[in-house]
Structure 1
Amino acid sequence: MKRITTAPPVSDDPLGTLRALTLLESPSGDTAALAALAGVLEPLARRAGMDTARRAGTAGDHLLWSLPARGVDGPPLLFLSHYDTVWPTGTLDSMPWSVEGDVVRGPGVYDTKAGIVALLAAVERVVASGEPHPEVRAVVVADEEVGSPTAGDLVRSEAGSARAVLGLEPPHPGGDLKTGRRGSTRARIEVTGVESHAALDPDAGTNAIDELIDQLLGVREVASRLPVLLNTGTVRGGGRTNVVAGRAHADLGLRFADPENERTVLGALEGLTPVRPHARVASRLLSHRPTWREDDASRGLAASVAEIAAGIGQSLGGRPADGAADTNTTGALGVPTVDGLAPHGGGAHARDEWVSASGLTERIDLLAALVTGLHRTV
């Protein structure tokens, strides 16, 4: 495949650009694969007219792009996206790139490489048009699919100065925006016991697995009294059946619709105490995206986006979503935020993932109109 820097402008061939990005598989945690894709994305961003920089992270570099303002003062528009996917390297062998009519398939096309392509093409168009616009900033993170554990501070910092945040995650089915999101937290409970011979001297030991089970039951009891989704995803511990287990841990997935419920459950996790003598119990958050409740700020921004969409012949609604993303962070801060501005499609994280080719064109039109028009109402 030819280097992407020799390809036509993104706005001339967005589908071709999406193909090039899809063929560069970029699973979360594969820093070499992510670096290869970042090395392609940065020249594309510069070609579109943006300045580029990176913020190093242990899970991969986060990409920062900026387009200087032209004739419009005030805070910047902030776009959020990511270039990691859930698909391991080699997925293309069984899930190849294909285009059949309006349906484009491949690992990561919908979540969310098409969103990146739409942004690049829209910015390229705005720069060529000469129209006034505010400063545009974009943060494209490397570890969104695992909860953005190394990107959270960067997202918060960039959001603090933004007039509005526009998320380039996939939309609701059909294309509607996302105006709120459930909180999403991954937590680990770790237990240390005391090892001993399980037959010769069992009372000298403290079984970490037994302690962990009791701790999990206690957390579940707290969560069961609230509208909270709790999933115990992994449990590990011990080693031999003739040894009292000395260590065990469990990873939990938690989803919250209400910030108060979130505080209650996370407070219970933070305050865990051992049931058994000589056991030690600790908990820590592996990733945390706070609950983003739909509010006047998100509803107002969504209404402005819908008005601009109507002006170019597009109909667009909005409502909260169950899934989490980096917009949880900005929405929870009270910064006007909407998400779901990537092209419509389906099958996120599924083998039938697809994105609409015509939807890609529509989103390019919409994003260009937002860059040049949103400052009038926000």
Structure 2
Amino acid sequence: MDSETVEALRRYTLLESPTGDRRSLDTLAAALETDAAHAGFHVDRERHPTGDHLIWTLPARDTDGGPILLLSHYDTVWPVGTLAELPWTVDGDVIRGPGVYDTKAGLAALLTAVRTIAGGPHPELRVIVVADEEIGSPTAGGLVRAEANRATAILGLEPPHPGGDLKTGRRGSTRARITITGVEAHAALDPDTGVSAIDELVDQLTGIRGLVTGRQVLLNTGTVAGGGRTNVVAGHAHADLGLRFLDPVDEEAVLGGLHALHPVRGGATITTELLSHRPTWRPGPAGERLLGRIREIAAGIGQDIGGRPADGAADTNTTGALGRPTVDGLAPRGGGAHARTEWVSAAGITERTALLAALLRHL
């Protein structure tokens, strides 16, 4: 067991960091920045009201290779207080705690790997640690795109496939809000002068279901809200949709359809807003070449690793969809992401630390 890296993971896990909790995120960010500076990084931030994105830079040393961009995040899906029910534990190879797998172990492994290559040749390293990845990185897209366009390789520090294989593509992921504005009226005395936003929303949701029928699209209506009183025709209603895409053509058609929605009822209005958007990342030649090189380097240290597309979304959707050489899943193996069974392998931490160090030397 890599005791130093596990101890860092323990410290990070005990600093709970749910998305949007600025105070908690700041506390963990300070700890991460201290460790990053100790590893040799220059640390900076892109500031946002809901949580700052961390930007770390390590200048190139004795090499002409282009910069490597590493993507991670420090927010989790777990609210403060989860440790009381899901405490930090180490039982043989199994380490448990909120966020250990997704993806604090990846951060701990990276920082240890960077310390091990100190003094040797390596390209410029740029690390972005996002504060709102778990809700689709709504404030980080521009930063990720700008950094990706200057990088020769992008490595994602999200969890791998079960067993440790890497991720070479991802479904597109969009959160959209459909907002209906109707006309309030007394539901008994003057109903005909009202326009029900709730009734309009129900009809629109039925139409949206038809929009995705026959396409390789997952649609989940996650929340519905509206109205206020049973004796008042509802003047407002909205629904939040989660959409996943395999094909960019379907993605363009469905999102275009959402923006082109027309009301069924006179007097109703519809607004479509994308709360977050990660484009479909399909495997391509640049990513396949990068995976091939990673496999060669891994074989050189005795590791056999594969790669294939994944269903979940991450910030590598953005870089992969740009056609930039991208591979994800370089955090340690484990399981139970977003579940109370979340765990990470202690041996996997050691394996990934060694692999990351080798990649940072030889990519």
Residue in structure 2 matched with residue 65 of structure 1 by the alignment: 56
Q: 1:113 and 1:341 mapped to 2: Cα distance?
A: 12
SS of the aligned residue for 1:243 comes to coil
In the alignment, which residue of structure 1 is the partner of 2:227? 238
Report deviation, 1:227: 1.1
Q: Report the equivalent of 1:353.
A: 342
Give the one of 20, 35, 55 matched to 1:29. 20
Aligned residues: 362
> Which of 8, 25, 34 is 1:17 aligned to?
8
Deviation at 1:75, TM superposition (A): 2.4
Structure 2 residue matching 1:249: 3-state secondary structure: strand
Aligned to 1:6: none
> What is the Cα deviation at residue 309 of structure 1?
0.4
Contact 1:197 1:242 in 2 (8 A): yes
Please report the RMSD computed on the Cα atoms of aligned residues, expressed in angstroms. Answer: 0.8
C-alpha separation between the residues in 2 aligned to 1:185 and 1:260? 14
Query: Which among 86, 89, 108 is matched to residue 80 of structure 2?
Result: 89
Matches within 5 A, 1:99-178: 99-127=90-118, 130-178=119-167
Question: How far apart in 2 are the matches of 1:70 and 1:310?
Answer: 24
Q: Structure 1: state its 5+ residue gaps.
A: 1-10
CA distance in 2, matches of 1:110, 1:71: 34
Kindly provide the CA deviation profile for residues 144-163 of structure 1, in whole angstroms up to 9, marking residues without a partner as x. Answer: 00100011111111111000
Q: Which residue of the partner structure matches residue 248 of structure 1?
A: 237
TM (normalized to structure 2)?
Answer: 0.99
Displacement after TM superposition at 1:74 (Å): 4.0
Q: Distance in 1 between matches of 2:33 and 2:66?
A: 24
- 2:273 aligned residue: 284
Question: Distance in 1 between the 2:326 and 2:308 partners?
Answer: 12
User: 1:265-276 residue pairs with structure 2 within 5 A?
Assistant: 265-276=254-265
Per the normalisation by structure 1, the TM-score is 0.95
Indicate conservation of the 8 Å contact 1:179/1:294, yes or no.
yes
1:41-56 equivalences under 5 Å are 41-56=32-47
How far apart, CA to CA, are the structure 1 residues paired with 2:239 and 2:66? Answer: 43
> CA offsets, 1:236-269, max 9 Å, x none?
0011111110000000000000001000000000
Shifted more, 55-64 versus 170-179: the winner is 55-64
Offset from partner CA, 1:194-252 (integer Å, 9 cap, x none): 00011111100000001011111111101012110000000000111111100000000
CA-CA distance at 1:59 after TM superposition: 1.8
Counterpart amino acid of residue 372 in structure 1:
R
2:355 match: 366
Q: 1:58–1:150: 8 Å Cα contact kept in structure 2?
A: no
Contact 1:192 1:281 survives alignment (8 Å): yes
Q: Which residue of 1 aligns with 2:306?
A: 317
Residue of structure 2 equivalent to 1:293: 282
- Answer whether contact 1:59 1:150 (CA < 8 A) is retained: no
The letter for the 2-side match of 1:193 is G
Q: Tell me how far apart the structure 2 counterparts of residues 58 and 290 of structure 1 sit (CA, whole Å).
A: 25
Q: CA deviation at 1:12?
A: 6.5
Match of 2:191 among 167, 183, 202: 202
Identity of aligned residues (%): 67
The superposition leaves residues 296-328 of structure 1 with CA deviations (integer Å, 9 ceiling, x where unpaired) of 111111111111001000010000000000000
- Secondary structure at the counterpart of residue 215 of structure 2: coil
- Measure the CA separation in 2 of the matches of 1:201 and 1:27: 46
- SS class of match (1:13): helix
- CA distance, structure 2, for counterparts of residue 202 and residue 31 of structure 1: 45
Which one of 21, 29, 45 corresponds to residue 38 of structure 1? Answer: 29
Q: How far apart, in 2, do the equivalents of 1:74 and 1:121 lie?
A: 22
